[in-house]
C-alpha cells in the first residue's frame, strides 16, 4: 500500500455540499451596496493597485459609477468602503472584490455555510486585478448562466465536494494550484448542463476553485479549529481566531516560485487571497506529496521537507492544520498562491507558495 493511499485528503470536506448560487445582496442583505469585500485582513493603509483595479471594476459592474474614472473618484473620496470578506462569511480569491450583485457559490457543512464568488475565466480576470472591460462582461455572462441554469441544478441535486477532491488527488493534483481534474468532475456532476455551457466551463479550470474555497471556509468553522479566517490582502497577511473579532496581521512577503516567461522584471505583490483556507484544510501546500509534477516544477524554491511537512502539522482526526503543531515544530504550513504584479499592470506573473510566519500560529495556539 502506498503512502498516498493512506492519506484521506478529503476528510475535512466530508459532508460539504454545494447547494446554491446566490448574489451577495441575498446572502448578506444588511451590507450596503457601497461596501466591497476583499481578501485577507483589514487594510492598515492604502490598498494595493490590483485591489484598487478590482474595486473600480466592481463599481462599474454594479452601475455605481459610469466608468473607471468615476469609480476611481468614488474610491478617492471615501464614498466606498472596503472590508475583509471573511468577516462576513465569504472568501474571495486573490485581488477580486465582492460587490452586491456578484454571484456566490454556497456550500454547507453541518450548520455552517461558506460563500465564494464565481471566477470568470483565465487571464485577464478580475481576481488578477485586470482593468479590461471584458472581465466584467464575462462575469456578467457567467452570472446569468450560474443563476438561471447552474443554481437550479445544484438546488435539485447538491454536489458532494469531497468527491471532487478525491478525483483531483487521484489525478495527482493538490486541488489548489492545479484543479483540471476536479473541475472536469464538477462539470460532469452538473447534470442537465447544456453542451455549450459545459464546454465553456471546461475552458475555465479555475471554475471549481470557489467551490473548494467555500467548502474549506465552512469546514474550518464546522471543525472547531482555533483559526476561522486566514489570508492576505497584498500588503499584510493575517489570521483571525474563533474567539476574537480582530485579525492578527503581519507584513506580507511575496510568494516564492517560478515566474512566467517574460515576467521577471515585475515586482511581485505580497501574498494575497483567501484561498489559504484550502491549504489550511490539508490541500494545496499540504498536499504536494499527492502532486509530484507540481512539486518537481517548484523544487528549486520549496523547502527540503515540503513533501513531509504535512505529517508534522495536520491534526489526523480533522485533517486540518493544527496551530499548536505549527507552534511546537516551528514549521509553517505552505500556502499555494498565484503571484501578481504589484503595479497592477501585468496581472498574473507566476505561481508559487507563501510561508506565513509561525508567530501568527503560535499566538493562535496560545489562546
Per-residue pLDDT tens for 124-134? 999 999 999 99
Closest CA to 203 of 97, 284, 291, 123: 123
Q: What does the mean pLDDT of the chain come to?
A: 96
Question: What is the Cα–Cα distance from 206 to 139, expressed in whole angstroms?
Answer: 13
Domain ranges of the chain: 3-366
Q: Name the β-bridge partners of 353.
A: 256, 336
Residues in Cβ contact with 97 at an 8 Å cutoff, skipping those fewer than 6 apart: 36, 37, 38, 51, 54, 55, 58, 82, 126
Parallel/antiparallel/unpaired status of strands 17-23 and 159-160 = antiparallel
Beta strands in 278-355 (DSSP E): 335-340, 348-354
pLDDT at residue number 346? 97
Mean pLDDT of 300-317: 96
- pLDDT recorded at residue 177: 98
Interacting residues of 92 by C-beta distance below 8 A, sequence separation 6+ = 37, 38, 39, 85, 98, 116, 117, 127, 273, 274
| Local confidence band at 363 (pLDDT 50, 70, 90 cut-offs) | low
Q: How much is the pLDDT for 362?
A: 84
For residue 164, what pLDDT band results from cuts at 50, 70 and 90? very high
The full DSSP string for 187-211 is HHHSTT--HHHHHHHHT-GGGGHHH
Q: What is the SS3 string spanning 72-89?
A: HHHHHCCCCEEEEHHHHC
Nearest to 183 by CA among 212, 154, 152: 212
Q: Which fold has domain 3-366?
A: v583 fold (3.90.1700)
Percent of the chain clearing pLDDT 70 (strictly above)? 97
What pLDDT score was predicted for residue 6? Answer: 80
| Residue 238 confidence (pLDDT) above 60 | yes
Q: Do 320 and 228 contact (CB within 8 A), yes or no? A: no
What is the C-alpha R_g of the chain? 19
pLDDT at 1: 36
Higher pLDDT, 50 or 362: 50
Q: What percent of the chain has pLDDT over 90?
A: 96
CA distance 112 to 131: 34
Look at residue 367 and tell me whether its pLDDT is greater than 50.
no
Q: Is the pLDDT of residue 364 over 60?
A: no
Residue 3 pLDDT > 70, yes or no? Answer: no
**How far apart are the C-alpha atoms of 80 and 292, rounded to whole Å?**
44
Q: Is the pLDDT of residue 145 over 80?
A: yes
Spatial CA neighbour of 104 closest among 117, 121, 119, 120: 117
Amino acid at each position: 500500500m502506498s503512502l498516498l493511499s493512506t492519506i484521506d485528503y478529503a476528510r475535512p470536506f466530508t459532508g460539504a455540499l454545494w447547494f446554491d448560487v446566490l448574489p451577495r445582496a441575498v446572502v448578506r442583505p444588511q451590507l450596503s451596496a457601497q461596501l466591497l469585500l476583499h481578501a485577507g485582513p483589514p487594510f492598515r493603509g492604502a490598498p494595493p493597485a490590483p485591489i484598487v483595479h478590482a474595486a473600480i471594476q466592481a463599481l462599474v459592474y454594479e452601475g455605481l459609477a459610469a466608468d473607471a474614472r468615476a469609480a476611481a473618484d468614488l474610491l478617492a473620496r471615501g464614498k466606498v468602503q472596503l472590508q475583509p470578506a471573511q468577516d462576513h462569511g465569504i472568501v474571495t480569491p486573490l485581488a477580486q472584490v465582492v460587490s452586491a450583485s456578484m454571484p456566490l457559490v454556497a456550500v454547507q457543512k453541518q450548520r455552517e455555510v461558506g460563500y465564494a464568488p464565481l471566477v470568470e475565466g483565465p487571464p485577464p480576470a478580475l481576481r488578477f486585478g485586470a482593468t479590461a472591460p471584458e472581465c466584467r462582461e464575462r462575469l456578467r455572462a457567467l452570472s446569468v448562466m450560474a443563476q438561471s441554469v447552474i443554481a437550479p441544478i445544484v438546488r435539485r441535486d447538491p454536489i458532494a465536494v469531497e468527491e471532487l477532491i478525491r478525483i483531483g488527488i487521484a489525478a495527482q493534483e493538490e486541488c489548489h494550484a492545479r484543479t483540471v481534474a476536479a473541475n472536469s468532475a464538477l462539470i460532469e456532476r452538473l447534470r442537465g448542463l447544456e453542451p455549450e455551457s459545459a464546454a465553456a466551463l471546461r475552458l475555465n479550470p479555475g471554475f471549481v476553485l470557489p467551490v473548494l474555497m467555500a467548502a474549506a471556509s465552512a469546514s474550518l468553522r464546522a471543525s472547531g479549529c482555533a483559526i476561522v479566517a486566514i489570508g492576505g490582502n497584498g500588503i499584510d497577511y493575517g489570521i483571525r481566531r474563533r474567539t476574537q473579532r480582530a485579525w492578527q496581521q503581519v507584513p506580507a512577503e511575496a510568494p516564492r516560485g517560478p515566474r512566467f516567461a517574460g515576467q521577471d522584471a515585475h515586482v511581485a505583490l505580497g501574498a494575497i487571497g483567501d484561498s489559504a483556507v484550502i491549504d489550511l484544510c490539508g490541500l494545496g501546500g499540504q498536499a504536494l506529496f499527492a502532486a509530484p509534477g507540481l512539486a518537481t516544477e517548484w523544487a528549486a524554491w520549496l523547502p527540503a521537507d515540503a513533501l513531509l511537512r504535512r505529517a508534522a502539522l495536520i491534526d489526523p482526526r480533522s485533517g486540518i492544520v493544527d496551530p499548536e503543531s505549527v507552534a511546537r515544530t516551528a514549521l509553517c504550513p505552505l500556502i499555494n498562491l498565484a503571484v501578481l504584479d504589484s503595479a497592477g499592470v501585468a496581472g498574473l506573473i507566476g505561481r508559487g507558495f507563501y510561508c506565513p510566519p509561525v508567530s501568527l500560529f503560535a499566538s493562535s495556539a496560545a489562546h
